[in-house]
Structure 1
């Protein structure tokens, strides 16, 4: 706060704990070891958004910081959780990378002032996801040449929870697509171009977050 944002004594700040807790106060004293904060009001607890989109993306084999970017932007856009999806073409993700991604989420939550920290789930195989898909009323599976996402949304009713499922760089196998659509996922297309995993994830998540917001807004 003092080194990057250049805040000083008596400046008002808000602190949050990543679980909806929010408290307002001011900086009382600054020294080389840190600062003293004085609370000016009682702790408030803010409820999470009513609509939660949960991302299942096969990004275990992404290189060059692309997995970090995917998780960071999911945090900023408001995803409820991200789960590394293990597929035939993306079979693993290292434990070291999972630890790093958790740090990325924390930093992104601070940067975008997100009161509820996004959850990073343990890597999960498709077979484990199928019952979750079957129980979800809205599950969108990104598949090349499928019905455009916007067209699918015109016939979809708003639900409080939904799933976004994105395949690996080599895409899902036909068997995997059939397994998930048989479980209840809706295959959706994202235009004529082949997108990277992180690009497809952002395209679907951003669209669904805006759609969810529009569904909650009152008619003018």
Structure 2
């Protein structure tokens, strides 16, 4: 059953679907009156609805039952990633959303190969949010991860005050053979906690950035004994959190 994230709560269990979602229902899926869909509302509540009418620019639907089951991670995981080249960040958002990320905060790292173009920034951020929405629909989530415009590493560090656990994946830590920090961080997680993990761009963190993060209360950690690509590290983090908080318990 197809899933759609809607901007407003229903009134008397009645729903009107417009815009891109209506286009998808009518032109892509070619649904008709009687078709069933999942609808997800801003508070994360999900319902099964039946389409009652298809109009020229909108569809009407009515809620049949509310769905109580949640597939969200029991902890909020926000990934802050140094800007990466090409469409790698698109990939991180898509797969990271499927794996349960609560949000993505790209930042301009000193070793980022790609530089942020302010003129094209709004359109690119809009594209990232659309990727997150589509991935959330595909993976049957009840929340769409927030994707921010790129910020400075200073802003990343400042935002860390809102999190219970703060880590950054540092290859120099992996080289020393100390694998304990990431495990210890996960073992201390309980439902409702918030964790931010910062990962670097293709060139990794500079010494200055590592010092800034450490001074800001972030703990350096290794993600296993191997050095991961910039687009692999965030997905490793989310997979590990899912395994520890959902499968082991």
What is the rounded CA distance, in whole Å, between the counterparts of 2:159 and 2:196 in structure 1?
A: 9
Q: 1:76 to 1:130 in 2, by over 3 A?
A: same
**Cα distance change, pair 178–14 in 1 and its aligned pair in 2 (3 A):** same
1:211: Cα distance to partner? Answer: 1.7
TM-score normalised by the chain length of structure 1:
0.80
1:152 lines up with 2:181 in the alignment: yes
Comparing 117-126 with 41-50, which one deviates more in the overlay?
41-50
- 1:62 equivalenced with 2:85 (yes/no): yes
Matched, 1:20 2:53: no
Of stretches 175-184 and 22-31 in structure 1, the one that deviates more from structure 2 is 22-31
For 1:29-40, list aligned pairs within 5 A: 29=53, 35-40=59-64
Measure the CA separation in 1 of the matches of 2:60 and 2:161: 50
Structure 1 position 68, deviation (Å) = 0.8
5 Å-filtered alignment, 1:91-110, equals: 92-94=115-117, 95=121, 96-110=123-137
Closer/same/farther in 2, CA of residues 169 and 3 from structure 1, 3 Å limit: same
- How many residues were matched structurally? 214
Contact 1:18–1:109 (CA under 8 A) maintained in structure 2: no
CA distance in 1, matches of 2:158, 2:39: 38
Structure 2 counterpart of 1:136, from 155, 163, 179? 163
Equivalent-residue separation in structure 1 for 2:106 and 2:179 (angstroms): 25
Q: Describe the shift of the 1:2–1:112 C-alpha distance in structure 2 as closer, same or farther (beyond 3 A).
A: farther
Q: Deviations over 1:126-182 (max 9, x none)?
A: 112223335533112111141579632443311500111001111110111011122
Structure-2 separation of matches of 1:48 and 1:73: 15
RMSD over equivalenced CA pairs, Å: 3.1
Distance in 1 of aligned mates of 2:224 and 2:181: 13
The range that moved more, 88-97 or 106-115, is 88-97
Question: How far does the alpha carbon of each residue in 1:39-69 deviate from its partner, in whole angstroms, 9 at most, with x for none?
Answer: 224798979654101110012x411x22111
Alpha-carbon distance in structure 2 between the residues aligned to 1:86 and 1:205: 22
* Cα separation, 2, equivalents of 1:16 and 1:206: 24
8 Å CA contact 2:76, 2:102 repeated in 1 = yes
Task: Structure 1 unaligned segments of length 5 or more: list them.
Answer: none
CA distance 1:112–1:193, shift in 2 (3 Å): same
1:180 to 185, 196, 213: 213
User: 1:116 & 1:27 partners in 2: Cα distance?
Assistant: 22
Contact conserved, 1:18 with 1:114, CA < 8 A, in 2? no
Shift of 1:213: 2.2
Aligned to 1:81: 103
